[in-house]
Structure 1
Amino acid sequence: MQNVPPGPRTDRRRDLAGWLLTPLMTLVLGPAVAASVGLLMVLWGGLGEVPEVCAETVADNRCEEISLEMVSQHIAVFGVLWLALWLLPWWRELRGVRTGIAVLACVVLVAAPLRMN
């Protein structure tokens, strides 16, 4: 039998607390930060202005439909990324990947009010 050099070891110890807390904190913090950004934009940007998303459809009076479509797309991408957090195994070596997906999900959700201005 030949001596095979060991390959890179993977850290497959349990990270059950991180596996549970990362999606839950993303579900709480993502919408809270997005709502805060939206509120600040309304307070600083003014209430009577037409959002840039609706600039092309002002004549047709379709701003509500366009806004809801854009927000629903952001919510759908956030939902897919949030579900991906649950699909990752609870290995300790995937902690960085899990955190990256959680931050990306929050950025996608915060981008919705930013696109409105």
Structure 2
Amino acid sequence: MGIMSKILGGGGARSTEDYVELDLDDFDTARGEAGMTVHIAEIGGQQDVVAIKDAVYDGDFVIADITRLRTRDRTVEHIIDELRQVAREVDGDIVQKGDDQLIVAPTGVTIARRKLGAKTR
């Protein structure tokens, strides 16, 4: 299951009746510029880390799919360590969600370690 399926929900057959098409003209688009952008990325190797680092240094949030790295443990460890250092440098945060996603947050953003609505024990 890919990163977008996990974010948007996967499984089960979907039909066009399950979705509503939104017309942007129906919404107020006169709002100001966003202070942060959420980027979706795929990491296939060390070369993909540069763009993620740049985005986090620019104050943006990144959700990265690391499924293509599973077989190369040393590469995964090195990439995670490098992105962990970036998160520390900008006073942001980083978490690994399962075996397939890294979430890197910029300055001043903390990522909760517990799902919303999860019961505490």
Give your verdict on TM over 0.5.
Answer: no
Q: Which has the larger radius of gyration?
A: 1
Higher strand share: 2
**Structure 2 length as normaliser, TM-score?**
0.25
Higher helix share: 1
